[in-house]
Amino acid sequence: MQVSGIAAVVTGGASGLGGATARALAGAGAQVFALDLPGAIEKADAVDGVTYVPADVTNPEQVQAAVDAAGSAAPLRVAVNCAGVGTAGRILSKKGVHDLDLYRKVIEVNLIGTFNVLRLAADAIAKTDADENGQRGVVINTASIAAFDGQIGQAAYSSSKGGVVGLTLPAARDLATSGIRVVTIAPGIIDTPMLAGVSDEFRAALAEGVPFPKRLGLPAEYAKLALSIVDQDYLNGEVIRLDGALRMAPR
């Protein structure tokens, strides 16, 4: 599917994986609407072809407004879900039982937020004209290798990302009749702003655990894979690990 001349929605689009993907799509000729929280947008650099939209992915009205804005600019063909939150906490610890509200929040943002954007973007994409192969667009979701190799303290995060993995195939099957593909990327340890505060020693230790290449992944590599998924029409209903063959240990 061609990127030039289309509209795309990218959540978490002010930085990290979403920021890199928004820049890559804009560089390929798409009109990108990057959704993020207001505080993140304030820190984002201006990028030609990228319009920043303050929106909470769990808020149906805000997401619908962003989708409508994208669809009015050009045919909406692509939605990429990169927004997410992470937390750590054992189910039972010296601090007591895992906080239920914290667990609920992670599920709400990472899983329900992803589904919210998927359903609203798919509704808009389905109303566009199909190409000669009957294709109208693609939704790319972000899981994590924690969905498969969740570590101690990752019960909430792994649950949320496991839900995104489980969503992939039924969503692809649901949307097949509308000519919409659904593919999920499951990144490993990527050098995003979430790691900005860690020491060089800790960063080196993380890199050492990756079989090959022995380094952290780059947001630009996620973005390149996302563009490849857009381009490769036969990729559908699949979860792709982007992790240097890393399999996480229990801790």
Q: pLDDT tens digits, residue range 139-155?
A: 999 999 999 999 999 99
Pairing of strands 50-54, 92-93: unpaired
List the structure tokens of 163: 């839900």
pTM for this entry: 0.96
**pLDDT score recorded for residue 199:** 79
Chain centre to alpha carbon of residue 47: 19
From 52, 103, 157, 222, active-site residue = 157
Token pair for 242: 């982007």
Q: Per-residue pLDDT tens for 57-113?
A: 999 999 999 999 999 999 999 999 999 999 899 999 999 999 999 999 999 999 999
* pLDDT of amino acid 192: 86
Closest to 182 measured CA to CA, from 196, 170, 199 = 170
Residue 141: both structure tokens together: 């979701």
* Among 77-91, 162-176, 195-209, the least confident range: 195-209
Reported as a pLDDT band with limits 50, 70 and 90, residue 205 is confident
pLDDT band at 200 (very low <50, low <70, confident <90, very high): confident
> How many Cβ atoms are within 10 Å of 10's Cβ, its own excluded?
35
Is residue 198 over pLDDT 80?
Answer: no
In the block, which residue shows the tokens 């906490």?
89
Phi and psi angles of residue 115, each rounded to the nearest 5 degrees, phi first: -65, -35
Task: List Cβ neighbours of 198 (8 Å cut-off, separation of 6 or more).
Answer: 206
d(C-alpha 21, C-alpha 202), whole Å: 26
* pLDDT value of residue 202: 81
Question: How far is CA 212 from each of CA 76, 163, 245, 251, rounded to the nearest angstrom?
Answer: 37, 28, 7, 20
Q: Which residue has the tokens 């804005």?
A: 69
Active site residue 222: no
Q: What pLDDT is stored for residue 84 in this prediction?
A: 95
Percent of the chain whose predicted confidence (pLDDT) is above 70: 99
Query: How much is the average pLDDT of 177-185?
Result: 98
pLDDT at 187: 98
CA distance linking residue 84 with residue 160, whole number of Å: 10
What lies within 8 Å, CB to CB, of 143 at 6+ separation is 161, 162, 164, 165, 168, 184, 185, 186, 239
- Domain 7-242 homologous superfamily, CATH: NAD(P)-binding Rossmann-like Domain (3.40.50.720)
How large is the average pLDDT for residues 31-58? 97
Convert the pLDDT of each residue in 208-225 to its tens digit. 999 999 999 999 999 999
Could you tell me if 137 and 125 are in contact, meaning their C-beta atoms sit under 8 angstroms apart?
A: yes
Residue with tokens 């996620």: 222
Per the CB < 8 A criterion, the answer to whether 20 and 223 are in contact is yes
pLDDT band at 30 (very low <50, low <70, confident <90, very high): very high
